[in-house]
């Protein structure tokens, strides 16, 4: 997680999440793909990808090929490659989000067990006793002034 924090900013991760949620086009995240591909192919992103997804990640991320060039080389339709590219980045985005959430959960305070005992007297009794004590206190203060 620390390594991802050094390589990708929060803004980069937000862009990746936006692409994974189909909010933005793939052109918005193309600059992140070389870093993600390097992390994946050095086994620092433990996610399973299909061969086609890994091939797209390799071609776009490490060989810096365009989708059209890669489609011609792999003899696949560009739409198929984009679909596999999207699936790969969705998986990576989910993993990175889970890693960040786990890291944030470590920093949260742990739950404390609260020991509650029943009251010896009811709240109504406490209120009545305190009201009588306050009234007597006011009476004493009034007599002291006179």
Backbone phi, psi, residue 129, to 5°: -65, -45
- What is the structure's pLDDT at 1? 59
- What is the structure's pLDDT at 36? 96
- What is the structure's pLDDT at 40? 95
Helix (H) and strand (E) counts for the chain?
Answer: 7, 0
Block mean pLDDT (10 aa), the chain, length 146: 83 95 95 96 93 96 95 95 96 94 84 75 84 91 83
């Amino acid at each position: 997680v620390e390594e991802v924090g050094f390589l990708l900013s929060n803004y980069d991760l937000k862009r990746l999440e936006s692409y994974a949620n189909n909010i933005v086009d793939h052109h918005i995240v193309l600059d992140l793909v070389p870093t993600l591909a390097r992390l994946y192919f050095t086994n620092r992103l433990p996610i399973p990808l299909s061969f086609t997804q890994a091939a797209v990640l390799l071609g776009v991320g490490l060989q810096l090929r365009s989708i059209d060039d890669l489609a011609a080389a792999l003899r696949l339709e560009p739409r198929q490659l984009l679909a596999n590219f999207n699936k790969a980045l969705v998986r990576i985005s989910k993993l990175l989000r889970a890693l960040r959430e786990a890291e944030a959960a470590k920093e949260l305070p742990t739950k404390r067990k609260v020991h509650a005992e029943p009251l010896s007297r009811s709240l109504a009794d406490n209120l009545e006793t305190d009201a009588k004590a306050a009234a007597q206190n006011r009476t004493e203060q009034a007599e002291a002034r006179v």
